[in-house]
Chains A and B, each alone.
Chain A
């Protein structure tokens, strides 16, 4: 025997009806009768509803960011940091363009200032570009570098979000400056690596050879780095520390290797999400905050990497479906 409640719900969602039938359906659905049956059929409908995509999701997300204030906080924190950092009005105009490059999805970007070129490296890729002065910049995944078609004036300035290494061509007259949201690195004929991903609290400058000066905390502090020294600036605590860096770790990404030292599971998956073309789906709160050090070869596939990580951590399990990697905690017998 068929079920009339199911027939109505299925018949209704599968066909178009005039407005009076819509009204009738709405009052029937909420009239309080056969509630258990209606609920059972609605649950079935819920299970069958498409869950991975919806038209105009990006617009809905923008609306949500406005409602929750996420959009304002992002714009403000980025603009404020930058505006505090650079006082010259001429530079401010450029910086607004930089902020736009970061905030607006690539497809919707208005024409950039004509005198600034943009190199954008998407997730899971890296690329080498040669700047007008012969400086070679190698960009890691999810990174944007803005630079002029020709360097004019007393300085060579580029703007970076993400991570890049620079082999700066020597020009004693004009210092080469990499500006990020929270610090800037000034160099003369030198090789160095800058990590400034917006989603990470710590941003890092590492000197490979030569000599650089790092200005940070609204340019009120500066530190001269000698080779193999690394400056880590925490934008949350606004504190900086220098330490000796393992250059092969710092430049591992250039060779395609993955080196993660003392990272929490959350940080590890954030890092892998940049390197591999997968979306990682997990609840950060289900993960412990133990720290791990892991190194993977350049040709390691994500299933291999995740297989090792899940063995090492022991309390997670993963599965890969299409371009998603789902990570779930495993209830161990001891915890039950």
Chain B
């Protein structure tokens, strides 16, 4: 029995209604952009629209949809091609050293080195701005605690406390791999 155009339209609408939410929600998690997630999801379904042979077989579809959605998201991310200056990351690298255990391999050999930098960055961004500011002045700009206290017009105790708490938190974040001396 031949399928009419309106049969195909209705079948596709059902397929779309059943699968679009997951694709878009997944894209939303990673892109954090309503517009990007909508574009990604729509473009995936437009590609599927012209390939009915792909979506007519519902069983194999779930795994396939994951792969095409991931690829579409990766394509968007690669296209944006924002390469940050590596210098800034290097600046953070000595934090990894500082949090390092004596018995670990050298940081640059570590296969998760980049991941650690990412986790440190993300953890710092989740901290209160005042605490992060103090920590960055101390560890990235290399200012002595006294000078930080003077510049920000806060007590020295507060500066030390901010740095102590930040190191504690970063230790937790990197717990998966290192045991480190809390203070040099």
Stretch from A28-36, A147-155, A212-220, A239-247 that touches the partner: A28-36
B83 within 8 Å of A (CB atoms): yes
- Measured CB to CB, the nearest residue on chain B to A58 is B17
Complex alpha-carbon distance, A53 and B119, angstroms = 31
- B58 pairs with A286, CB closer than 8 A: yes
Q: Could you say which residues of chain B place their CB within 8 Å of the CB of A4? A: 112, 115-116, 119, 176-177
Complex alpha-carbon distance, A46 and B56, angstroms = 21
User: Quick one: which of A1-32 are within 8 Å of B by CB?
Assistant: 1-5, 7-8, 11-13, 15-18, 20-31
Q: Could you say which residues of chain A place their CB within 8 Å of the CB of B74? A: 29-30
Instruction: Please give the distance in Å from B67's CB to the nearest CB on chain A.
Output: 9
- A50 pairs with B21, CB closer than 8 A: yes
B97 within 8 Å of A (CB atoms): no
- A24 pairs with B57, CB closer than 8 A: no
**Per-position 1/0 for A41-83, Cβ under 8 A of B:** 0110110011111100100110111011010011001000000
Most buried by A among B19, B29, B83: B29
B12 within 8 Å of A (CB atoms): yes
A255 within 8 Å of B (CB atoms): no
B1 within 8 Å of A (CB atoms): yes
- B173 pairs with A7, CB closer than 8 A: yes
- A61-B13, A283-B56, A285-B57 known, 19 other contacts, Cβ within 8 Å: A4-B116, A8-B122, A11-B119, A16-B32, A21-B121, A21-B125, A22-B32, A25-B118, A26-B82, A27-B77, A27-B84, A34-B115, A51-B25, A61-B16, A64-B42, A64-B45, A64-B46, A68-B9, A73-B9
User: Quick one: which of A284-326 are within 8 Å of B by CB?
Assistant: 284-286, 289
Instruction: Please give the distance in Å from A182's CB to the nearest CB on chain B.
Output: 14
**Per-position 1/0 for B110-135, Cβ under 8 A of A:** 01101110110111011000000000
A281 within 8 Å of B (CB atoms): yes
List 23 A–B pairs whose Cβ atoms lie within 8 Å, in order of A's numbering.
Answer: A1-B176, A4-B112, A4-B176, A7-B173, A17-B122, A24-B84, A24-B118, A26-B82, A28-B115, A28-B118, A46-B22, A49-B25, A54-B20, A57-B17, A63-B42, A64-B42, A68-B9, A68-B12, A70-B13, A77-B6, A281-B18, A283-B57, A285-B57
Q: Could you say which residues of chain A place their CB within 8 Å of the CB of B69? A: 46
Q: Could you say which residues of chain B place their CB within 8 Å of the CB of A73? A: 5-6, 9
Q: Could you say which residues of chain B place their CB within 8 Å of the CB of A223? A: none
Complex alpha-carbon distance, A51 and B32, angstroms = 17
B103 within 8 Å of A (CB atoms): no
User: What number of A residues sit within 8 Å (CB to CB) of B?
Assistant: 60
Complex alpha-carbon distance, A201 and B4, angstroms = 10
User: Quick one: which of A199-214 are within 8 Å of B by CB?
Assistant: 199, 201
- A29 pairs with B176, CB closer than 8 A: no
Q: Could you say which residues of chain B place their CB within 8 Å of the CB of A281? A: 18
Instruction: Please give the distance in Å from A207's CB to the nearest CB on chain B.
Output: 29
Given contacts A33-B114, A67-B42, A283-B57, contact A18 B12 (CB under 8 A): no
Complex alpha-carbon distance, A21 and B13, angstroms = 37
Complex alpha-carbon distance, A4 and B178, angstroms = 12
B70 within 8 Å of A (CB atoms): yes
B10 within 8 Å of A (CB atoms): yes
A236 within 8 Å of B (CB atoms): yes
Selected contact of A285 from candidates B24, B26, B56, B175, CB within 8 Å: B56
Q: Could you say which residues of chain A place their CB within 8 Å of the CB of B156? A: none
Complex alpha-carbon distance, A52 and B84, angstroms = 38
Complex alpha-carbon distance, A172 and B80, angstroms = 74
Instruction: Please give the distance in Å from A171's CB to the nearest CB on chain B.
Output: 38
Instruction: Please give the distance in Å from A198's CB to the nearest CB on chain B.
Output: 9
